[in-house]
Amino acid sequence: MLTLILPAYNEATHIAATLFHAVTVLQARGIDYEILVPIEGTDHTRGIISMRSKRNPRIRGLWKSWPHEPRQGKGAAIQRAVREATGDIIGYMDADGKTSLEHYATEVVPLLQAGYDLVIGSRVLRGACIAQPQAWYRRWGSRGFRWALHALIGLRDIPDTQAGYKFFRREAALDLFQDLRITGYLFDIELLLKARQKGYRLAQIPITWRDDGDSRLTLGWMVRTLGDLVRLWWASSTERGRRQ
């Protein structure tokens, strides 16, 4: 069974369409599933999920006791859902519909069945389709980020660490999310570093991706992300030092 996680931070505009697409694809392919939606933010996402879960009990919202509690981050939201997951495959996608489940049955499942521990989507591998590109300044920003990431931390063989499209064998997901330290935007990098250190087998596939033009970049976000990048650099440097 698949546990699909859709982390939702103020996604009232997109979440209904994303759920409709996911359920349609999974049912058409006869895939047993549950969909967990860890919710943060203050918009109407919670009400939408409550209504959808009444119609389809395979959809379940996860929210904190206090809705106005400060945001913990995308990584923390997914970590919370992983603890609740019952599927033998656990994966997450962006809740805003930037990616598609079309690749799941034909590419993700065969690779996991072949012995890979995690399969991640890439927007830069040959065969990827960018149906709606980002604005030029965001594309340049992404290239600069990738350069800094690979220069400081490594992972040069993974050209796209941040695509919201990752699927794991259950055992690998429970292990990698167990003691996550980075809970914001860069949590994916910590996951990939841990997977590399633990010897998990990783496969990359090209995906279809579209930008929705919804930029949530703020000065505070950039400062926190820079701090997390420094923390990851320090942790990876320390780990390399231990091995030498």
pTM beyond 0.75, yes or no: yes
d(CA 230, CA 197): 19
Distance of CA 179 to the CA centre of its chain: 17
108 falls within a domain: yes
Mean pLDDT of 1-12: 95
pLDDT band for 150, please (50, 70, 90 cuts).
Answer: low
First-to-last alpha carbon distance for the chain, in angstroms, is 41
224 falls within a domain: no
Question: Strand 89-93 and strand 165-169: pairing?
Answer: antiparallel
Host domain of residue 24? 2-139+158-213
The rounded mean pLDDT for the chain is: 85
Helix extents (H) in the chain? 15-28, 45-55, 74-84, 102-103, 109-113, 136-152, 170-176, 187-198, 219-243
d(CA 127, CA 212): 21
Least confident of 8-12, 67-71, 179-183, 197-201: 67-71
**Domain count along the chain:** 1
* Structure tokens that stand for 17 in this block: 């369409």
What CATH number is given to the structural domain containing 132?
Answer: 3.90.550.10
Burial of 136 (0-12, 13-18, 19+ CB in 10 A): exposed
219 falls within a domain: no
